[in-house]
Structure 1
């Protein structure tokens, strides 16, 4: 087997923040006997994956249809999907099970316990997480939860957090799956740097030990059920599963699973992590304390354009327009932030919106207020107090003024840049910039725009691009609200590549978490 020195490994790991690089195999972790085919749950088991887009979060509904009972692992805050599944299959939810204290979304365990009336909260007490609410079933390494004929055995896998627990699923004498939370992802592992600099080194070492030891006696045919997929910042380079992801596949292909040098593991892992979202410490604190229980009817008050305008003029709210980038460019209320109507509003709302300031929202004509209210609640934004009755048409037809701007095609950008007459601004992840950006572009990470406005020349137009235009529209809206002549590029980098234009790459890619970049 080839050997690599640490510098060579880190050169590969620098791009892992976006999951587009290959880290060479270093060594193999000792394993139990492997089989080529994935284990499947028995016929009496109901297993449903509930995906929360934007956060790339996976929760799991697991039930025994013969026994009439089910549990949910890592539930999100809007829990109706689990209640609907229980009703569909005629099952009673007995437990809401947590793998760890989450940092990227508000846990729905307490909400599910309340709304179901039957679910008990089960969570790890390894590492003394110090919950501020009652955990009905405290779990330690080796403890089991029974779901009819299904057994879920806790395996303490610290590193991402001190208390992190994975769950081995078995029926009879046969194990068929493992729910790995934020410990093991497809192609990656959980990041150990979310509990402060003072704890990062000890957590990284604990994570290395968990990788080396926690699953060594488990059969390779076990299916892997992680809590996140591609796009989540909870790990560097998380991949989408190909076919049925198994423990054997991760042992073979996961770069972190193949390192038996602790220093190399830690250095490569930390080098690859993307920036930590600003709202994550708030999520961590809220989940440890016990999330507020929400009303099942959380709709904003719908008001007329006249009342909506007075509210905006008061300065007491933040104005959120959830229409598409094209609709927003065509006409919007001055000062609005545009975060489009999509589940990804959870992540970017968390990054960009103030949790302590009321939100007044505008929606697409074909949309509703219920969905974005749920999407924002997933990241603790429960302050959507007001909605415009109708849509932008109601505002325009009332005779009120609005702002608009012309977007730019990638063809126009190609013709005009590099240029001293306009600023071309890239607002993507740092690792995206490193893998290729437009010639003549300036870099500014989207969430940092509000606090780094002085780094953008206000005397000339600003053209903003991202991966496909969604983030560009957010950035453009923030700049325009602050008096810039800004416009976005629909399609952005994806359209640029599709049009056959070349990008440029920096000679020396930076650390994935470092948001400073130069051309």
Structure 2
């Protein structure tokens, strides 16, 4: 279980180079006065889901012994553990909106507790394919012990989006606002997730929400967003400097300073990163009602012989969760390498086929429970088998394996430019714009499987990213498709640390445009 108190909403770096590059030059977040005080009987815990940079909240009243969870993730053990720890009963699972980036845990939490009512907004014509116990509209309230939550309709990211103002039910004094994907530290939610035909109207609604939704609220209110740095749900989300407040955002959030609607919309849309492929699927799953798992999926543990037969059948995709170095040293031919880290959620969503069963290989020091939870957060629950005994058992069984030699940044510097190899940059488009290695070819990592024909297969391909993690993902995809591909450990971070030259394009491109030229 990973959870943090309200002073520990930390920057998530698990997206590995994706967090701070989405928004061009936005000023630093301004300082503010003291934050509003949380009532003494209230427990507020932030549960951080790395990889997705998702924050959910456990909010309870110690005296009344009751609690709510706001925007729960699918693996709900963290909330159950907190309820047990504090001696509380979870009475509500509350959604700010229909999420696109992860599978909601509200149905799971309601089933596992037997007491939690599902609460969701029905503003904006929102409809659900499952039973919603409390259907909220703007101004509706929920009271749990001394906690009063009032829904504030904040459309723009989605039509139904609801923020929740928390106040003391006895004194009536507000002390926090849970902003979901409407307001982040230094940013706002993206309005382009419901198709081109809806983007303009949602962007206008978002502008109106920014200008008007919170105007009557006191600046000392603490803000609790659903995402932090590294999430593609907003451009340029920043790390909180202390306790983030509404006053800080009014002064320092660049979108709060834009008083012209057209300027706001142009700047907002230009800054948005590419939309992950799996998000439309998440949206449909959450609206229809996620399948209730009842816990972490349990794959069948297989000895090498049985695992090999399954792989040879072609009916599974092999996911190797070991480190780049271990993967390079020896792996099952055709395996996809996404290293053992919570960012498996994001890159698994991007790179794995949701319709095809998964066979998993874990690190010798790792376990299967964690990566299966991480995968389930993006709806990847069909993990059919796991290799018993790790890769060592496979090697010791005498079966063949693939391997390759990595290339250091020093060797890259000595080797390139050259006609005998291809240097491939697989980072986000804005990362390329901020600086890249001369003569490198650009190809956004998730697009590699569809754009293989653009890479010269007749010569070795040397792959780099921010720090090597994504380079290993890309290398594994290329090797599975018959390329002589090799990853660069440390990648751009090591290149810049070594002081080697970098080049920048004359003009930065649109963040969501994944085409770049040298």
Q: Fold conserved (TM > 0.5)?
A: yes
SS in 2 for 1:245: coil
Give the conservation status (yes or no) of the 8 Å contact 1:17–1:274: no
Taking the aligned partners of 1:497 and 1:146, their CA distance within structure 2 comes to 53
Aligned match of 2:238: 239
Structure 1 residue 467, shift from structure 2 partner: 0.5
- RMSD value over aligned CA atoms? 1.5
Q: Does 1:366 align with 2:336?
A: no
Taking the aligned partners of 1:35 and 1:173, their CA distance within structure 2 comes to 23
Structure 1 residue 459, shift from structure 2 partner: 0.4
Structure 1 residue 20, shift from structure 2 partner: 6.0
Aligned match of 1:471: 470
Q: Does 1:21 align with 2:18?
A: no
Q: Does 1:216 align with 2:215?
A: yes
Q: Does 1:230 align with 2:233?
A: no
SS in 2 for 1:72: strand
Aligned match of 1:444: 443
Taking the aligned partners of 1:200 and 1:114, their CA distance within structure 2 comes to 35
Give the conservation status (yes or no) of the 8 Å contact 1:178–1:225: yes
> Unpaired runs of 5+ in structure 1?
1-14, 29-33
Give the conservation status (yes or no) of the 8 Å contact 2:422–2:460: yes
Of 83, 86, 89, the match for 1:89: 86
Q: For residues 195-229 of structure 1, give each alpha carbon's deviation from its aligned partner in whole angstroms, at most 9, with x where no partner exists.
A: 00000000000000000000001010011100000
Taking the aligned partners of 1:461 and 1:140, their CA distance within structure 2 comes to 58
Taking the aligned partners of 1:465 and 1:20, their CA distance within structure 2 comes to 22
Q: 1:372 to 1:151 in 2, by over 3 A?
A: same
Aligned match of 1:145: 142
SS in 1 for 2:341: coil
Aligned match of 2:62: 65
Q: Give aligned pairs, total.
A: 498
Structure 1 residue 24, shift from structure 2 partner: 6.7
Aligned match of 1:7: none
Q: For residues 331-356 of structure 1, give each alpha carbon's deviation from its aligned partner in whole angstroms, at most 9, with x where no partner exists.
A: 10111000001000000000000111
Taking the aligned partners of 1:89 and 1:130, their CA distance within structure 2 comes to 34
Structure 1 residue 96, shift from structure 2 partner: 0.2
Alignment of 1:287-366 (within 5 A): 287-366=286-365
Give the conservation status (yes or no) of the 8 Å contact 2:22–2:271: no
SS in 2 for 1:263: helix
Aligned match of 1:425: 424
Taking the aligned partners of 1:404 and 1:297, their CA distance within structure 2 comes to 32
Taking the aligned partners of 1:497 and 1:112, their CA distance within structure 2 comes to 46
Taking the aligned partners of 1:24 and 1:232, their CA distance within structure 2 comes to 19
SS in 2 for 1:275: coil
Taking the aligned partners of 2:327 and 2:363, their CA distance within structure 1 comes to 10
Give the conservation status (yes or no) of the 8 Å contact 1:16–1:272: no
Comparing 39-48 with 279-288, greater Cα deviation is found at 39-48
Aligned match of 1:135: 132
Q: Does 1:515 align with 2:514?
A: yes
Give the conservation status (yes or no) of the 8 Å contact 1:50–1:60: yes
Give the conservation status (yes or no) of the 8 Å contact 1:123–1:137: yes
SS in 1 for 2:327: helix
Give the conservation status (yes or no) of the 8 Å contact 2:71–2:106: yes
Structure 1 residue 498, shift from structure 2 partner: 1.1
Give the conservation status (yes or no) of the 8 Å contact 2:23–2:235: no
Q: 1:101 to 1:236 in 2, by over 3 A?
A: same
SS in 1 for 2:123: coil
Of 72, 76, 93, the match for 2:73: 76
Taking the aligned partners of 2:290 and 2:41, their CA distance within structure 1 comes to 34
Structure 1 residue 298, shift from structure 2 partner: 1.5
Give the conservation status (yes or no) of the 8 Å contact 2:275–2:512: yes
Structure 1 residue 287, shift from structure 2 partner: 0.3
Give the conservation status (yes or no) of the 8 Å contact 2:422–2:456: yes
Aligned match of 1:5: none
SS in 2 for 1:18: coil
Taking the aligned partners of 1:166 and 1:228, their CA distance within structure 2 comes to 14
Taking the aligned partners of 1:113 and 1:185, their CA distance within structure 2 comes to 27
SS in 2 for 1:233: coil
Taking the aligned partners of 1:295 and 1:328, their CA distance within structure 2 comes to 33
Taking the aligned partners of 1:316 and 1:23, their CA distance within structure 2 comes to 48
Q: For residues 149-189 of structure 1, give each alpha carbon's deviation from its aligned partner in whole angstroms, at most 9, with x where no partner exists.
A: 11111000000000000001111222111000000000000
Taking the aligned partners of 2:288 and 2:399, their CA distance within structure 1 comes to 45
Give the conservation status (yes or no) of the 8 Å contact 1:19–1:239: no
Taking the aligned partners of 2:40 and 2:19, their CA distance within structure 1 comes to 38
Taking the aligned partners of 2:271 and 2:22, their CA distance within structure 1 comes to 9
The runs of at least 4 aligned residues of structure 1 exceeding 3 Å deviation read: none
Taking the aligned partners of 2:324 and 2:144, their CA distance within structure 1 comes to 46
Aligned match of 1:491: 490
Taking the aligned partners of 1:23 and 1:314, their CA distance within structure 2 comes to 52
Aligned match of 1:42: 39
SS in 2 for 1:243: coil
Of 46, 51, 56, the match for 2:53: 56
**When the two structures are superposed, what TM-score results if normalisation uses the length of structure 1?**
0.94
> Unpaired runs of 5+ in structure 2?
1-17
Structure 1 residue 296, shift from structure 2 partner: 2.0
**When the two structures are superposed, what TM-score results if normalisation uses the length of structure 2?**
0.94
Taking the aligned partners of 1:43 and 1:293, their CA distance within structure 2 comes to 35
Aligned match of 1:158: 155
Give the conservation status (yes or no) of the 8 Å contact 1:408–1:487: yes
SS in 2 for 1:460: coil
Give the conservation status (yes or no) of the 8 Å contact 2:22–2:511: no
Structure 1 residue 21, shift from structure 2 partner: 3.4
Aligned match of 2:167: 170
Taking the aligned partners of 2:271 and 2:56, their CA distance within structure 1 comes to 25
